[in-house]
Structure 1
Amino acid sequence: MEGRVMKRTLFFTMLGGISLLIINACSSMGNMDAMGGQESMGSKMSGGEMMASGGSYLLPPDKVMAMQKMMMSMEPDTLEAGIKRGEKLFNDEKLGDNKSRKSCSTCHENGGTVGGAAEMEWKGMKMKVNIPTLRGAAAHFPKPMGPMKALVDLAGMNNMCIMTFLKGAPIDKNSQQSVDLVAYITDFSKGKSLEPGKEKIVPRPVPGAM
C-alpha cells in the first residue's frame, strides 16, 4: 500500500512539472519586452492559442516516457480509498507539519462547524473569521477568498487554512495527499448543485467577523 501511494505521489509530482514549464515559458516571453522592446508573443496569443502552438510548456520526451510507464504500472485506485486517506489527513494534528496541535476537524468537526470565529492576522492587523460548515462548501469553488480576494480552488483553500489557522506548511497541490484531502472534503457536498463563487455557509455568524 505504501509503495502504491509513493508511486502515485511521484506521478503527481511529475505532473507538477507542467506548471513550472508554463511559468518559465511566460517569463521568457516577458523578457522579450524588457530586453528588446518588442511586442511579446504573450500579448498576441491567448492561453488556448499558446496550447495549440506547441510551445515549451510541454514536458520533455524523457519525462513523458517515464509518466507513460508509470501510468501503465500503477495499480487501480478508488474514490472510496482516496476519501478514507483524506479523512486521516483531515484529522491529522500534524498536517502541514504544523505546531498548533490542531487539525481541520478542530474547527470542522465531522465536516460541519464548531461555530464561533477563528482569529487571523493580515498585514499586521488581527481579524476574526467566521467558521463555516464544509457541508456543501466544495460546490462553491473556485471563488475569491481571504482579505486579498485571491481566486482559489478547493485545494488552494485547504492550503490557505493550513497556513493561516494551523500555522503549517501548504501541501503540494500536485501530490496525492492534496487530491485525497480534496476528495474527502468534496464528499460533504455530494448531491449539491455547483455554484462557483457562492458565499461560505455560516449557520451562526459572529457579529463583526468576516
Structure 2
Amino acid sequence: MKKMIENRQVILLLYIVAMVAGYFAFRLLYGVSDSFPFSQELLLVFLGAIATILITALLLNQQTELELRKEGQVLLLDQKSTTYMALIEHIGEIVEKGRLDPEGVAELRVLNHKLAMIGSADVIGQFSDVLRRLDDSTADQAISDAEQAQIMQSVAVLNYHMRRDLLGRIEGEDDQQVLQKIVANSNDLED
C-alpha cells in the first residue's frame, strides 16, 4: 500500500513538473510565435503527448493493482475451497471409521491450522463445535451411531458457514432457511 502511494505521488509530481515546464515553454514560444507560428502547434503536440503518457501510466498502474488484488482473491478462494473440502472429507473418514487414530488427529491438527489462516470467524467457531463433538465421541475409543449423527449435524452447520464464507450473502436468499435445509438434508441422510 505504501509503495502504491509513493508511485502515485511520483506520477503526480511528474505531471505537475511537466505542466509547469510546459506552461513556461508555451509562454516562451508564444513570444517567438510571430516569426515561427509552427512552434505553437509543435508545443501543443508535445504537451498533449506528455499528458497522454502520464494519464496512461496512472491508469495502467491502477489496472495492474486491481488485477493483482483480483488474482489474490481468486487464489484465496481456491485455497479456502480446497481446505474446506479436505476438512469435510477427513471428518467424514473419521466418522466412517468410528474411531479417531493418531494419524487422523495429526491431519486434523494440520487442517485446523490451515483453517485458522483462511477461515472466517464463523467457520472457525463452528469447527470448534465439531471438534468438541468429536472429542466427546471418541472419549470411549468408539463413535456410536447417535454420536455419528450429532457430529454430522454439526458438520452440516459447518458446511453452511463454509458456504457463506465462499459465496458471501446471496441476494434474495434467506440465510436461516438455507441453514434449515442443509441440516434437514443431513438429518434425512442419517435417518
- Bigger helix fraction: 2
Greater C-alpha radius of gyration: 2
TM (norm. structure 2) is 0.28
For CA contacts below 8 A with separation 6 or more, give which structure has more relative contact order. 1
TM-score, normalising length: structure 1: 0.26
